[in-house]
Structure 1
Amino acid sequence: MPATAFPEHAWLVDLVDDLPGARAADQPAWDAVVLWIGDKMFGTIGTDGRGRDLLTLKLPPEDGEALRQAHAFVEPGYHLNKRHWNSVVLADPGAHRDLLAELVEDSYHCLLATLPRWRRREIGLLA
């Protein structure tokens, strides 16, 4: 089922859906769109307690720290492990579209690298 929440960020959902083995799906209980590879989450699109739209992604700790130091709109992950998860405030996503696309792909590859070969085969990523 395609993600329908956060239509203003549909381009992010489309980007995820174009990644092999990945999908974006509504998670109504969280009021979020969750980004998946198989049954493993690599990101979310949601709203924080202040009403800001966030793209939250799993990244290597050193990459996340560098991003937070370089960009004021990148914060420790909202409601997730602050060491491995980072939230990007989507106040003006058009201004950072290339960076956001790169971060989604980095998060995808970060999780993909942790999956065992049999799991990658099971979800159609290996022949």
Structure 2
Amino acid sequence: MNIEQIRAYCLSKKGTTEDFPFDQDTLVFKVLGKMFVLASLKWWERGEAAINLKADPEYSEELRAEYHSIRPGYHMSKKHWNTLYIHEGELQPQYIKALIDHSYDMVVKGMPKKLKETLL
């Protein structure tokens, strides 16, 4: 997947916005103001395609054990975030989308009920 495909997929999810809250190179996708995907555009430009995704801590451990291209979140909480090194070619687009879905769902799951209801 390229960054435009990831962007389109993220923006197709309900309540999602994109932003550059940290600097002009770190693209962040949020659901109702909460981050679920981060991508360093600088990395993508130099051919090191990667994204950070939120994940259940136990699931994170399973993913890291199974895939070399999934590692603890770069500059993120190592317990709750993973970095997917897409440029390594190990992860198929459908699987990347499934992991984006998991990240989105984890963020929504942690929201108060009233906020969740706005997505329905």
TM range (shorter): 0.7 to 0.9
Q: Aligned partners of 2:55 and 2:90: how far apart in 1?
A: 22
The DSSP-based 3-state class of the residue aligned with 2:17 is strand
Give the alignment's TM-score, normalised by structure 1. Answer: 0.80
Kept in 1, the 8 Å contact 2:36–2:107? The answer is: yes
The structure-2 alpha-carbon separation of the partners of 1:76 and 1:108, relative to structure 1 and needing over 3 Å to count, comes to same
* More off after superposition, 19-28 vs 74-83: 19-28
Q: Specify the alignment match of 1:108 in structure 2.
A: 104
Give the alignment's TM-score, normalised by structure 2. Answer: 0.84
**Deviation sequence 1:72-105 (CA, Å, 0-9, x none):** 1101000000010000002155951111000000
**Deviation sequence 1:12-59 (CA, Å, 0-9, x none):** 1111111111123344616111010111111201139x9733110010
Matches within 5 A, 1:1-127: 8-27=2-21, 29=23, 31-46=25-40, 47=43, 52-92=48-88, 96-121=92-117, 124-126=118-120
Q: Aligned partners of 1:21 and 1:42: how far apart in 2?
A: 12
Gaps of 5+ in 1: 1-7
- Give the number of equivalent residue pairs: 116
**Could you tell me the percent identity over the aligned residues?**
25
Letter in 2 for 1:89: Y
Letter in 2 for 1:36: K
Aligned-residue RMSD, C-alpha: 2.3
Greater relative contact order (Cα 8 A, min sep 6): structure 1 or 2?
A: 2
Structure 1 runs of 4+ aligned residues shifted over 2 Å read: 23-28, 50-53, 92-95
